[in-house]
Amino acid sequence: MTERRYFGTDGIRGRVGEAPITPDFMLRLGWAAGQAFKRDGQRNSVLIGKDTRLSGYMFESALEAGLSAAGVDVKLLGPMPTPAIAYLTRTFRASAGIVISASHNPHQDNGIKFFSAAGTKLDDAFETDIERWLDRPIEVVDSADLGKAFRVDDAPGRYVEFCKSTVPNEFSLDGMKIVLDCAHGATYYVAPKVFSELGARVSVIGGDPDGLNINLNVGSTHLDALKAAVKDSNADLGIAFDGDGDRVLMVDRDGTEVDGDELLFVIAAQRHAAGKLKGGVVGTLMTNLGVELAFQDQGIPFERVKVGDRYVMERLLLNGWLLGGEGSGHLVMRDCTSTGDGIVSALQVLLAVWRSGRSLTELRGGMTKLPQVMINVRVDQRFDPLSRTDVASAAKSAESRLGTAGRILLRASGTEPLIRVMAEGQDEALITVVAQELADVVAGSRS
Give the catalytic positions in this structure.
103
Phi, psi angle pair for 72, to nearest 5° = -115, 130
The residue type found at 235 is A
Cα separation, 329 vs 327, in Å, equals 5
Q: How many CB atoms lie within 10 A of CB 113?
A: 26
User: 447: Cβ–Cβ under 8 A, 6 or more apart, which residues?
Assistant: 380
Cis peptide before 20 (omega within 30 of 0): yes
User: 94: Cβ–Cβ under 8 A, 6 or more apart, which residues?
Assistant: 45, 46, 47, 75, 88, 117
H/E stretch holding 137 reads none
Cα separation, 50 vs 160, in Å, equals 17
Q: How many CB atoms lie within 10 A of CB 84?
A: 31
H/E stretch holding 209 reads none
User: HSE of 232 in the Cβ direction (CA atoms, 13 Å)?
Assistant: 9
Cα separation, 413 vs 368, in Å, equals 27
Distances in Å between the Cα of 287 and the Cα atoms of 41, 281, 296, 303, 416 are 45, 11, 14, 10, 20
Cα separation, 415 vs 405, in Å, equals 30
